[in-house]
A and B are shown apart, each in its own frame.
Chain A
């Protein structure tokens, strides 16, 4: 089952994870992610064909709050930690552009 981890895959996963990686980091991640996945492959020893997956331990499912209007965080407080802002807005670089 062990998928082979190569540098191309590590670069792809890093992009999915939105983490820029240096060439040196790609080499390091390729090694360590391969080691961890080889360790995790131990799970394949177990026959789980008849087992229900267990996503969490609390014996509750989809607790819904009553749909009532409530005060929310004032925008000044919400923006207080923003790295960059303009008026009541977060400021970001161009999202759609000529690539």
Chain B
């Protein structure tokens, strides 16, 4: 069955449940594709072949015994390598954790497996999820399956590229400032960042704890809804996980959307936006209008984006985000001390301070060091109020803008990224221009809101364009239905040629 990898997660689930395909065949097919293509793409840090085959065999035995397979019965999935698994390594694509074995599974992983998923392996990322291109991986960059000379975006670049190249049925990523949505946009797949508190962060290696959220990367909106239904929900092991009922997001998708109010974010329609991306957003606005939605312009003044004379986009949200994220990173990453786990320097040291300093200098990459340094500075005596406290106040202003917008609208529409996938090396020399890749996605993390990137066609260069929808907190059912409406109007997203088209 040559077309097995062309099935969506929902399609494959159906085929496995019906006995048309065995879970073992599915796992073998995907593992074979990883053997064939991943040398070129480097989506995976590790492939857990034997374990995946064993798990798939167990699913087939369940089916033979007439037992229920679970909502993800036999689906081969990939997990971002900053999400802990009790088997194999959890490296965060950092040299400091290159040999780290987590003693436990993240809650999101144990929920996937309890639902019958077959984990294929762990995917590459920007070290500790700090980056927008996956070039900050401490191991090797991931390549974009649409054009291997370009980046897949980041930080969940391995998961997005694997989902796009059909090296997994779907994947988990994490999103602190856009790390699910931006790579999904660059790779032409769907990426969903849930509401802060919707999915447990237990076992997600902490970067910016007030911003981080785990979410699905999938080929279509239905597959993303399926995964969200499994991973969402309260978890006593994460004090920021909220105790609210979990709807069946998949069943909700088929409910009709009546009187939908769509807000077109005027600040995101700036002159700096590529004309092709602006046209894609306009097409989506028209699609909503044609489906009977009321489309109006709304304003998010503190998420405004201005183009400076030097071409650098200036945004309060980006400035606010980097202070908050770097401050949180500097305290979260203090735990890598070369004592309890992780890399320890082999050089002789005179005392424990030198042990810390050398181990961390050897283990962390440049971007991680920059963020720790900046965060340490922003939290240090004399600067705390000017930077950190100021950023927290601006964060409130950004949140207030969203509250006002969602009093008038159900979903907001805009671009996911200011441009399509860029060539490797294009932004590595200038961290500030790299940060601006997240200019449209960052505000949702600051405000804790859910957002989804949906494929909206290809550019003239044959690269995917994504549009972003945002909704109020815990309004994922409406967000997903609006995304589905776009998907239906725009037609199914194409696969990259490299993935095969049989």
Residues of A within 8 A of B376 (CB): 13, 16-17
Q: Is B341 a contact of A81 with CB atoms below 8 Å?
A: yes
Q: Name the distance in Å between A10's Cβ and chain B's nearest Cβ.
A: 7
Knowing A55-B392, A56-B210, A93-B352 are in contact, say whether A21-B330 is a contact too (CB < 8 A): no
Q: Is A32 a contact of B240 with CB atoms below 8 Å?
A: no
Knowing A73-B103, A93-B352 are in contact, say whether A81-B390 is a contact too (CB < 8 A): no
Q: Is B361 a contact of A19 with CB atoms below 8 Å?
A: yes
Q: Is B240 a contact of A92 with CB atoms below 8 Å?
A: no
Q: Is A65 a contact of B431 with CB atoms below 8 Å?
A: no
Q: Is B319 a contact of A39 with CB atoms below 8 Å?
A: yes
Determine whether B407 belongs to the interface, using a CB cutoff of 8 Å to chain A: no
Residues of B within 8 A of A43 (CB): 316, 319-320, 323, 387, 390-391, 394
Knowing A17-B376, A83-B343 are in contact, say whether A51-B397 is a contact too (CB < 8 A): yes
* Interface 0/1 of B414-457, CB less than 8 Å to A: 00000000000000000110000000000000111100000000
For the complex, give the distance between the alpha carbons of A48 and B236 in Å.
36
Knowing A19-B361, A51-B397, A78-B103 are in contact, say whether A94-B351 is a contact too (CB < 8 A): yes
Residues of B within 8 A of A80 (CB): 101, 103
* Interface 0/1 of B322-339, CB less than 8 Å to A: 110000001000100111
Knowing A43-B320, A43-B394, A57-B196 are in contact, say whether A13-B377 is a contact too (CB < 8 A): yes
Interface residues of A in 32-81 (CB under 8 A from B): 32-33, 35-37, 39-46, 48, 51-60, 62-63, 65, 73, 77-78, 80-81
Q: Name the distance in Å between A89's Cβ and chain B's nearest Cβ.
A: 11
Q: Name the distance in Å between A11's Cβ and chain B's nearest Cβ.
A: 11
Of A33, A48, A59, A73, the contact of B374 (CB 8 Å cutoff): A33
Interface residues of B in 96-125 (CB under 8 A from A): 99-101, 103
Residues of B within 8 A of A16 (CB): 376, 380
For the complex, give the distance between the alpha carbons of A97 and B394 in Å.
46
Determine whether B386 belongs to the interface, using a CB cutoff of 8 Å to chain A: yes
- Which of A33, A36, A44, A55 has most B Cβ within 10 Å? A36
For the complex, give the distance between the alpha carbons of A33 and B323 in Å.
12
Interface residues of B in 247-296 (CB under 8 A from A): none
Chain A residue nearest to B388 in the complex (CB): A53
* Interface 0/1 of A1-44, CB less than 8 Å to B: 10100000110011111111100010001001101110111111
Residues of A within 8 A of B323 (CB): 40, 43
Determine whether A84 belongs to the interface, using a CB cutoff of 8 Å to chain B: yes
Residues of A within 8 A of B302 (CB): 46
Determine whether B489 belongs to the interface, using a CB cutoff of 8 Å to chain A: no
Residues of A within 8 A of B364 (CB): 19
Knowing A57-B196, A94-B351 are in contact, say whether A1-B386 is a contact too (CB < 8 A): yes
For the complex, give the distance between the alpha carbons of A3 and B386 in Å.
10
Q: Is B196 a contact of A18 with CB atoms below 8 Å?
A: no
For the complex, give the distance between the alpha carbons of A17 and B338 in Å.
14
Determine whether B46 belongs to the interface, using a CB cutoff of 8 Å to chain A: no
Q: Is A46 a contact of B432 with CB atoms below 8 Å?
A: no
Q: Name the distance in Å between B457's Cβ and chain A's nearest Cβ.
A: 32
Q: Is A46 a contact of B340 with CB atoms below 8 Å?
A: no
Residues of B within 8 A of A51 (CB): 393-394, 396-397
* Interface 0/1 of B301-316, CB less than 8 Å to A: 0100000000010111
For the complex, give the distance between the alpha carbons of A21 and B376 in Å.
15
- Which of B323, B354, B357 has most A Cβ within 10 Å? B357
Residues of B within 8 A of A54 (CB): 392-393, 395-396, 399
- Which of A10, A16, A25, A33 has most B Cβ within 10 Å? A16
Q: Name the distance in Å between A96's Cβ and chain B's nearest Cβ.
A: 8
Residues of B within 8 A of A29 (CB): 369-370, 373
Residues of B within 8 A of A20 (CB): 354, 357-358, 360-361
Residues of B within 8 A of A44 (CB): 386, 390
Determine whether B383 belongs to the interface, using a CB cutoff of 8 Å to chain A: yes
For the complex, give the distance between the alpha carbons of A31 and B322 in Å.
17
Residues of A within 8 A of B355 (CB): 92-93
For the complex, give the distance between the alpha carbons of A6 and B318 in Å.
24
Kindly list 17 other residue pairs between chains A and B, CB separation below 8 angstroms, not including A15-B357, A60-B240, A90-B339.
A13-B380, A35-B432, A39-B312, A40-B323, A40-B387, A42-B319, A46-B302, A46-B316, A46-B394, A55-B210, A56-B210, A58-B448, A62-B239, A73-B103, A83-B342, A83-B344, A93-B350
The 10 A-B pairs of least Cβ separation, nearest first, read A57-B448, A81-B341, A53-B392, A83-B344, A56-B210, A48-B393, A20-B361, A20-B357, A54-B396, A18-B356
Q: List 15 A-B contacts (CB under 8 A).
A: A17-B330, A33-B374, A35-B432, A39-B432, A43-B319, A43-B387, A43-B391, A51-B393, A52-B393, A53-B395, A56-B209, A57-B446, A58-B448, A60-B197, A83-B344
